[in-house]
A and B are shown apart, each in its own frame.
Chain A
Amino acid sequence: MKVYGKGASRFDALKGLTFEIAHGESVAIVGKSGSGKSTLMHLLALLDQPTSGVVALEGDPITDLKPKQISALRNDTFGFIFQQFFLNPNQTVLENVTLPLKIAGVSKSERNRRGMEVLEQLEMDSKAKNKATDLSGGQKQRVCIARALINKPSALFADEPTGNLDSNTSEIVEDILFGLHRDHGITLVVVTHDEDLAARCQRRLIMQDGEIVREEHGVQSTDQGVTA
């Protein structure tokens, strides 16, 4: 459960959710704005603590951990992709991509080597020296994915990854995400109200007013006929 505010302004963003996400699963959290889907993802991604209840990773409740350990855990095991990209406009693509490694304390040469590796994987290596502002929306999101992948995470959290992209670019980004999920076994947690994107996930949690109202299983065929 997650409660914001106190007394009269008390707002229960999430109420009584219990579920598990398995290793290598792809899960979409779907719902209208205000349904609590972002809050749920923040809890899952260890960015936030529940007001009551327990979030456990690999069976260990994270409430027992110190903030520093939680930070290290996020840095080590998670990758984040945001709708607004959150790229640092003053830095080069390579510097943006290698930020998680810098935080982890990896040496500069090692950072740059792994940064170029992951940029190659996403076919962005030619832009490595460009400033982040010089890129198109799709390119920016690919840089974000590269940043999320650089620490070889076991889980990727994507908050509306296609929200700022046109449909063609969205499709490319989706293909990349599901390709990673399929080929590398990365757990994928996507918050979206894009039905096409949600449909490509193995499981969908449909949220309304802080509660999971419905759960759907299985990859659904979409209009484009893509299957994962």
Chain B
Amino acid sequence: MKSLDVTRTALGNTLRSKMRTFLTVIAIVIGAFTLAVTSGLAAGVNQTIEDMVEGYGGQDELYVMTADTMGQGEDTGPGPQEYDPDEAASQSEFGQSMLSDDDIETIEGLDHVTQVDPIFFVSPDYLETPDGEQYMLNDLGTPADAQAMELVAGETPEREAMEITVPESWLAVFDESTDDAEQADPQTAIGETIEVGISDMAYEQHTVEAEIVGVSAPNLAGIGGDPMPSHAVNDELYEIQSSGLDVDQPDTYVQAAATIEDFSANEDSVKEALQEEGLVGMSVEDLMGMVQTVIDAIAWVLYGFAFIALLAASFGIVNTLLMSVQERTREIGLMKALGMSSGRVFGLFSMEAVMIGLLGSIIGVGGGVLTGVVANALLTGSGGPLGEIGGLSLYAVSPTAILSITALIMAIAFLAGTLPAARAAKKDPIEALRHE
């Protein structure tokens, strides 16, 4: 018997008792569906993250924190710690240890570090448009993130210039022709001068002027979702924010962004140097890698569930085929009497198992991919609940994943089919033909 005939006959046989095949296939469909959705989800989110990392372009910064923050310092752990006045001063109100000016100097002194920008958070009060309208403004972007920002129009603020970008959602404020931010023309905002209002520690309000040079779209990390000042604007705001009282307060920072020359070559050596100073440096890729690790872990748990479903389904195949072999004892006997070798009988029945697996994986993977693509379009498309997060894709179709899922399921089905197929192959033609 030719392989093509074996395949064709096997397919015909599986379609013979449609109800039984259908029920067996359902179990496989569930497993295949879960695998397809999970792999697509993991691929989609990871791809989004990769796109983001790539979007950072020539990223050359390390985000530096104290080692304690990352749970890597020496003086951490449960139990009382000895009091150290310097140490205590450099704690934020959340008990997180902060970088001091000394630390910043240390980082600046490291080899290959060309620039260190302490990251501090500024809480302005309002933003005033040229026509005098004032809008609530609670958060500003961190200038160190500016390179990662996705721009719809214009450019990122110059370090030393008094410049700022605004997010897309603010556009309606500048474009008088429309109230809908999505309809607004980004060019209307660029070139406008706005004022940022901020209170000092004595609750006295001051303003800082800045020119809008770009319009940003929020990305998955939230960068670009708030107005993004230049370093100069941010520094001035911070200056105002921490002035007003006649107290000398040491400056502390949660993080600092260190710019490194020839980043790919010197990344590791700088990280090591930081480590020796009790500091930790992480690149954007490191940070995103942590997210990816979590996503992968979740994906593997779901793969595990899908695999259990497939394991259960494989017993369904064994059962179905054993019944089929029993019912078709005579047919098997006839085929063997007419000269079909035991090997071919085995091949025919295991091919039936593979066909059931193939059927299940086509329906399951097809359904999974369709569901993923449609759900992704509904959730992250414009108007969807996650549509605001720019560049987010929850589902990616990966041909490799689809093919390997199909291959895996067919392999499981084949293994499940070996027991019934071996039983069919062992049948004695005479006994089989006598079978009533």
B339 touches A71 (CB 8 A): yes
- Tell which of B5, B342, B343 has the most Cβ of chain A within 10 Å: B5
Which residue of chain A has its CB nearest to the CB of B436? A84
Q: Within the assembled complex, what's the spacing in Å between the Cα atoms of A155 and B16?
A: 34
- Tell which of A72, A80, A102 has the most Cβ of chain B within 10 Å: A102
Number of A-B contacts (CB under 8 A): 56
Q: Within the assembled complex, what's the spacing in Å between the Cα atoms of A99 and B340?
A: 10
Cβ-based interface call for B26 (8 A): no
A103 touches B335 (CB 8 A): yes
A105 touches B339 (CB 8 A): no
Q: Within the assembled complex, what's the spacing in Å between the Cα atoms of A149 and B429?
A: 20
Cβ-based interface call for A86 (8 A): yes
Given the interface pairs A47-B429, A71-B341, the reply to whether A86 lies near B334 with Cβ below 8 Å is: yes
Q: Within the assembled complex, what's the spacing in Å between the Cα atoms of A99 and B335?
A: 8
Which residue of chain B has its CB nearest to the CB of A68? B341
Q: Within the assembled complex, what's the spacing in Å between the Cα atoms of A67 and B337?
A: 12
Contact of A103 (CB < 8 Å), options: B331, B340, B343? B340
B338 touches A48 (CB 8 A): no
Given the interface pairs A47-B430, A88-B331, A102-B5, the reply to whether A80 lies near B343 with Cβ below 8 Å is: no
A75 touches B338 (CB 8 A): yes
Contact of B337 (CB < 8 Å), options: A47, A73, A108? A47
Given the interface pairs A47-B429, A86-B334, the reply to whether A105 lies near B341 with Cβ below 8 Å is: no
Contact of B340 (CB < 8 Å), options: A42, A48, A71, A73? A71
CB distance from A96 to the nearest CB of B (A): 10
Cβ-based interface call for B247 (8 A): no
Residues of chain B within 8 A of A108, CB atoms compared: 5
Overall SS of chain B's interface: helix
A71 touches B330 (CB 8 A): no
CB distance from A130 to the nearest CB of B (A): 17
CB distance from B336 to the nearest CB of A (A): 7
CB distance from B351 to the nearest CB of A (A): 14
Residues of chain A within 8 A of B2, CB atoms compared: 105, 107
Interface positions, chain A 50-78, Cβ under 8 Å from B, are 67-68, 71-76
Residues of chain A within 8 A of B16, CB atoms compared: 90
Cβ-based interface call for B427 (8 A): no
Cβ-based interface call for B344 (8 A): yes
CB distance from A74 to the nearest CB of B (A): 4
Residues of chain A within 8 A of B429, CB atoms compared: 47
Residues of chain B within 8 A of A178, CB atoms compared: none
Residues of chain B within 8 A of A104, CB atoms compared: 1, 339
A100 touches B1 (CB 8 A): no
Q: Within the assembled complex, what's the spacing in Å between the Cα atoms of A45 and B430?
A: 11
Q: Within the assembled complex, what's the spacing in Å between the Cα atoms of A100 and B16?
A: 21
Residues of chain B within 8 A of A107, CB atoms compared: 2
Please count how many residues in chain A sit with their CB below 8 Å of the partner chain's CB atoms: 25
CB-defined interface of B320-348 with A at 8 Å, one 1/0 digit per residue?
Answer: 00000000001101111111111110000
Which residue of chain A has its CB nearest to the CB of B434? A38
A86 touches B330 (CB 8 A): yes
B1 touches A105 (CB 8 A): yes
Residues of chain A within 8 A of B232, CB atoms compared: none
CB-defined interface of B163-206 with A at 8 Å, one 1/0 digit per residue?
Answer: 00000000000000000000000000000000000000000000
Which residue of chain B has its CB nearest to the CB of A106? B2
Residues of chain B within 8 A of A75, CB atoms compared: 338-340
CB-defined interface of B300-335 with A at 8 Å, one 1/0 digit per residue?
Answer: 000000000000000000000000000000110111
A48 touches B330 (CB 8 A): no
Residues of chain B within 8 A of A42, CB atoms compared: 430
B343 touches A68 (CB 8 A): yes
Contact of A102 (CB < 8 Å), options: B1, B330, B333? B1
Q: Within the assembled complex, what's the spacing in Å between the Cα atoms of A8 and B9?
A: 44
Residues of chain A within 8 A of B333, CB atoms compared: 86
Given the interface pairs A88-B331, A90-B16, the reply to whether A82 lies near B433 with Cβ below 8 Å is: yes
Known: A75-B339, A107-B2. 19 other contacts (CB 8 A): A45-B337, A48-B430, A67-B341, A67-B342, A71-B339, A75-B338, A75-B340, A82-B433, A86-B433, A88-B334, A99-B334, A99-B338, A102-B1, A103-B1, A103-B339, A103-B340, A103-B344, A105-B2, A105-B5
Which 8 pairs across A and B sit closest by C-beta, in order of nearness?
A75-B339, A74-B339, A103-B340, A71-B341, A105-B2, A71-B339, A86-B334, A68-B341
